Amino acid sequence: MHVQSSIDQLVEINTLPSFMKSFRTNKMASLIRSITSDMIANKVHDPRIGKFVSVTKVEVAADMQLAKVYISVMGTEEEQRSTMRGLKSAQGLIQRAVAKGVTARICPHLTFVSDHSIKKAAEIMEIINNNAAEMGPPQDDPTDSLDPTDVEDDVAENMIADTDENSDNEPSKPNPDEGVRP
């Protein structure tokens, strides 16, 4: 039990949020992302790699030894598997291009990971749009159409009317029950 909690603490320490990672790893990730995107779009001519492929993000390990390249493929499951096989086949070519483009002493080893976040986001948007279409257009709320200047005019008119009612040509007498306001 004690060993497991120690391991959990180590895992929590080693998984830092993205904003706490170092400048070097973020810069390396950005460079790898741009080189990899360019290679997939322009240099890799594998027919298994689909047309709608994008590099969504790159995570570089703190020791700069490994980099996970997240790939999003718009298409069927078979097209996604085929694209991932094509990228695994072209991994050496992409790795060499990254090694030439990186000016660091060590070039991270690339691994490609399928990223389904864009597809999930598209599905969620479709569900929201379908629900909005079923609900119909929003109902008009009469308070939404109020003009702020109209409200201010109404308040001013009410204040004038209140002062007119209280002034019966007699000076107002102070009420002893009311406290003195500072």
Residue 67 contacts residue 36 (beta carbons within 8 Å): no
Q: Is the pLDDT of residue 158 over 50?
A: yes
**CA–CA distance, 85 with 47 (Å, rounded to integer):** 11
Q: Is the pLDDT of residue 160 over 80?
A: no
In the three-class reduction of DSSP (H, G, I as helix; E, B as strand; rest coil), residue 71 is classed as: strand
> Does CATH place domain 9-123 in 3.90.380.10?
no
**CA–CA distance, 17 with 62 (Å, rounded to integer):** 12
Q: Dump pLDDT digits (tens) for 8-46.
A: 444 444 455 555 568 889 999 999 999 999 999 999 988
Residue 38 contacts residue 67 (beta carbons within 8 Å): no
Domain boundaries, the chain: 9-123
Q: Dump pLDDT digits (tens) for 167-178.
A: 555 555 556 565
Q: Which of these, 109, 114, 59, 119, lies nearest to 87 by C-alpha position?
A: 114
Residue 61 contacts residue 67 (beta carbons within 8 Å): yes
Q: Dump pLDDT digits (tens) for 44-82.
A: 988 999 888 999 999 999 999 999 999 999 888 899 999
- Quick one: pLDDT band at residue 156, thresholds 50, 70, 90? low
Output the pTM of the full model.
0.59
User: What is the Cα 90 distance to its own chain's centre?
Assistant: 30
Q: Which of these, 89, 93, 88, lies nearest to 111 by C-alpha position?
A: 88
